Each structure stands twice: as C-alpha cells, then as structure tokens.
C-alpha cells in the first residue's frame, strides 16, 4: 500500500516510523516532512492544503491512502474532496472534523448527545451585549473561547470580570482572532487535572487507544506561556481502568454514536481533551487527529500494524485489526529552540547520537541539509523513553536530552514530576 502522510511534526515522524515497520507498506511519502521522516520514506515538497496539487501527486505516484497528521486539511474538507476522486483518506469528513473546527458546533453536539462537558453559551455580534451581562452571572475564573481554529491561542481565562468583558468585546467586535472569534463560547471553569484520551474508529466500530498527559507551558512547574507541548507521559497513572471505562462509556461511545446518527460516521483518530473533575471526566475540547506530543509518547507503546490500522480507518475492518499496548510508561521530553514559543532562530547544526535501546528520537523542527541535520522550528526533537517506572523513563529521556547538541537547546526537566507527587499523595 502506497501512503502519503501530511505534516512535518514529531507526530508525523512517529506515524512514519510506525508505518515503515510494516511489511505491507509500499512507498511512503511525507509532505512536507522533516529530517526524521526522511529516514522512513521520501519527503515531498507539497502543501497539504493545496488539494489539487495533492491529488495530482496521488495520481502520479499511485497513492492508495492519504493520512493527514494535523487538523488543517481535515477541517478544510480533504476527505470530501478526495472522495470525489476515488482516493481514500484516513480521517473524518468535513462535517465530523467540525468537532475541532468549531467550538460552538462541538458544544452543541455534546449537548445533543449527552456528552459531559462544561455548561456554556455562545455569543456573536448580534448578542454581544447579552454576553457581557451573561458574564456577570458567572463565577470567576471566566473562560472565553474563540469558536474557530486559532492556532491554539483562542482560549482566554481570566479572574477579572471587567477584563473578561473587554476580551469578549475584543474577540467579537475587535476581531481579535479574525473570523475565528466572530463567535465566542463562554463556559464554566472546570477544576481538575487535564488529560488527553484517544480513540479510533472506522465509522462502524471503535476502540480506545489510551491516555497521555501533555505539558503545555514552557516553564518548569507549569509556568510561562503556552507552547505546542513540551513533553508527555503515557499512560497517565490516575487514568485507571475505572476512569478509562467512564471515558469510553460516557464520552467516546456517545461521540461516535452521535456522529453516526447525524449521518457522518466518524472515521479517524478522536482526541478527547478532558478534565478529570474528581474522578469524573468532562470534555474540554475535541481534536479530530492524534495529539502532538502525545503521539510521540503513545505510539512507542502501541503494538499494531499501522498500515492495517490506517487502512481500516479509511476502508473499514477495524474489528479485525490486532492491537495492544506495551504496559510500560513512556516519558517524552521535547527539545526546543532558544526563545520558543516566541521568536526563534533556525538553521543551528545538530548533533544527534544513536538512541539507546529504550529510547526513540522523533524529529519535529529539523531539516536535512548538505551539512547535516539543522534545527528548523520551535519544537525540535521529541525524546521518548520507556520503562516500568515513570520516573526512570523520564530520567532516561533527560539523559538523552543532554547528549543531543545544538545551540540554544532548551527543555523541561520536570516532565512527570507532578504525576509522581499525585501518585504518592493518593497512596
């Protein structure tokens, strides 16, 4: 089977790595890819959002399946577009992808299908004034979310009522996030610990894929600005069998059933961003693809023929895909560039040693040049190690992090420490 994988992050390197281990993989192309994906297949200079160009490439190279790594092509309707041309895509159609593309749609969907989530109301230019009054009826902190995709920056949380009202005004009237904030969701603040849970469906059957915790802030102790993700742990210790059963029964099941009822059976990976509210999972957001860096932690644990899995997503047959999880814990530490998540410099030469037996290097912002591998983005390299023991897994990744060399290297040294503390507290 010939596959075209879309994207260039650590998640895509993890996908490419899993695919490249399958005997039934034909040619693998990655658009645009990075220095890591180049070791698993052929990188191609294609814009994933230029559907005409993607189609022409698929026809020329006899691609059997397109696998989008991130949400942009899915939300833009790549599945519907390619279906017309007879090319299979492992992902949800545009309607189902709106679960990620519109927070207002996702909230209304959850209400329709009884999926637990924070109480909310949506506002736009027509009822902006009402929105400001509505805020006065809520208890702080106030949570305001731009409806559309805003590159992970569309959520504003503030303790201050006047500021919340000003932000609402700025989002709707001031178009703070452009069209993405012409509608704003105001929702109840959920107290608890965040967790990412994953499931996969071929539109008929579905399976859980496990849990991971993402470390979003740049600084140790969860301080400083948000990033794309500085590390991950999988599985999450508090996500025990009872908790995961609730996630499956109350969230994944009704979500997949809901999409089926609405005439758009969900085919793809479903990322459930949840808050664990005293043992009760509630949805913060849906994503219609795998997470980054969660994938870099989860995939080394996932025992499956990835070609079979993505083929099943697009063409059915998930019930016969053999799948299980390495019970060890994976700890991922993301190496980033100096200045990230602000301005960064690219092109720093890198020295990457051989990974140890328990360790995987997943490239993100890297590029292969005539002079060797150089940095090419904010998040540079995800280092994942596996161990029976979470603290040891993190330690092995940190040791490897020291060995990788490039100018301006930065990373968090506290990945998993909060979970360790929680574990001890609950004993």
Q: Determine which residue in the list 291, 377, 378, 416 makes contact with ligand GLY, applying CB under 6 A.
A: 291
118 lines the binding site for ligand AMP (CB under 6 A):
yes
Q: How far is the CB of 276 from ligand AMP (least distance, A)?
A: 12
Choose, by CB under 6 A, the member of 12, 294, 296, 308 that binds ligand GLY. Answer: 294
Instruction: Answer yes or no whether residue 144 interacts with ligand AMP by CB under 6 A.
Output: no
Instruction: Tell me which residues in 181-210 interact with ligand AMP (CB under 6 A).
Output: 187, 189-190, 194
Q: From the list ligand AMP, ligand GLY, none, pick the one residue 214 interacts with, judged by a Cβ distance below 5 to 8 Å according to partner type.
A: ligand GLY
Task: Give the number of other CB atoms < 10 A from CB of residue 217.
Answer: 16
Near ligand AMP by CB under 6 A: residue from 253, 273, 316, 408: 273
Site for ligand AMP in 282-301 (CB under 6 A): 284-285
* Residues ≥6 apart with Cβ < 8 Å to 108: none
Q: What does the longest C-alpha to C-alpha distance in the chain come to? A: 61
Q: How many CB atoms lie under 10 A from the CB of residue 73?
A: 26
Of 260, 272, 261, 266, nearest in space to 208 by CA: 272
Exposed, middle or buried by CB within 10 Å (0-12, 13-18, 19+), for 338?
middle
Residue 19 site contact among ligand GLY, ligand AMP, none (CB < 5 to 8 Å, cut-off depends on kind): none
Decide if residue 143 touches ligand AMP (CB under 6 A). Answer: yes
Residue 277 touches ligand AMP, criterion: CB under 6 A: no
Is 292 an interacting residue with respect to ligand GLY (CB under 6 A)? yes
Q: How far is the CB of 216 from ligand GLY (least distance, A)?
A: 7
- Binding to ligand GLY in span 180-219, by CB under 6 A: 214
For residues 262 and 255, the answer to whether their CB atoms sit within 8 Å is no
The reply to whether 384 sits near ligand GLY by the rule CB under 6 A is no
218: number of CA atoms within 13 Å, CB side? 15
Hey, which residues between 248 and 287 contact ligand GLY (CB under 6 A)?
A: 287
- Quickly tell me which residue has 């109350």 as its tokens: 250
Residue 53, classified by CB atoms within 10 Å of its CB into exposed (0-12), middle (13-18) or buried (19+), is: middle
Give the gyration radius of the chain's Cα atoms.
Answer: 21
Peptide bond into 141 cis (omega under 30): yes
- Residues lying near ligand AMP in the complex (CB under 6 A) are found at 118, 143, 152, 155, 187, 189-190, 194, 273, 284-285
- Residues lying near ligand GLY in the complex (CB under 6 A) are found at 214, 229, 287, 291-292, 294
């Amino acid at each position: 089977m010939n596959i075209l994988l879309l994207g260039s992050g650590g998640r895509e390197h993890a996908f490419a790595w899993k695919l490249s281990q399958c005997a039934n993989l034909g040619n693998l192309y990655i658009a645009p890819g990075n220095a890591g994906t180049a070791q698993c297949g052929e990188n191609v200079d294609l814009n994933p959002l230029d559907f005409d160009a993607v189609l022409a490439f698929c026809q020329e190279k006899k691609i059997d399946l397109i696998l989008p790594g991130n949400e942009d092509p899915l939300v833009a309707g790549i599945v519907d577009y390619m279906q017309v041309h007879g090319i299979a895509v492992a992902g949800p159609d545009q309607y189902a992808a709106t679960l990620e593309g519109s927070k207002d749609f996702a909230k209304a969907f959850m209400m329709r299908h009884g999926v637990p989530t924070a109480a909310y109301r949506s506002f736009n230019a027509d009822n902006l004034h009402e929105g400001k009054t509505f805020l006065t009826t809520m208890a702080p902190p106030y949570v305001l979310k731009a409806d559309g995709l805003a590159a992970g920056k569309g959520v504003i949380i503030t303790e201050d009522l006047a500021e919340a009202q000003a932000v609402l005004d700025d989002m709707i009237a001031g178009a703070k996030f452009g069209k993405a904030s012409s509608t704003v969701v105001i929702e109840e603040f959920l107290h608890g610990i965040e967790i990412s849970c994953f499931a996969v469906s071929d539109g008929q059957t579905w399976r859980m894929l496990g849990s991971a915790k993402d470390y979003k802030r740049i600084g140790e102790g969860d301080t400083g600005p948000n990033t794309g993700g500085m590390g991950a742990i999988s599985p999450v210790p508090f996500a025990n069998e009872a908790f995961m059963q609730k996630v499956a029964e109350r969230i994944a099941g009704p979500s997949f059933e809901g999409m089926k009822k609405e005439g758009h059976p969900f085919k793809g990976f479903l990322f459930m961003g949840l808050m664990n509210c005293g043992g009760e999972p509630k949805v913060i957001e849906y994503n219609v693809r795998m997470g980054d860096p969660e994938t870099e932690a989860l995939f080394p644990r996932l025992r499956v023929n990835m070609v079979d899995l993505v083929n099943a997503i697009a063409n059915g047959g998930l019930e016969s895909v053999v799948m299980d999880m390495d019970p060890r814990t994976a700890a991922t530490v993301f190496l980033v560039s100096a200045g990230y998540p602000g301005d960064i410099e690219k092109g720093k030469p890198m020295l990457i040693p051989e990974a140890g037996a328990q360790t995987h290097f997943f490239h993100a912002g890297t590029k292969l040049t005539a002079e060797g591998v150089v940095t090419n983005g904010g998040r540079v390299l995800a280092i994942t190690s596996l161990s029976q023991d979470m603290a040891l897994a993190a330690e092995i990744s940190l040791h490897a992090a020291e060995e990788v060399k490039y100018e301006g290297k930065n990373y968090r040294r506290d990945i998993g420490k909060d979970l360790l503390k929680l574990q001890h507290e609950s004993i």
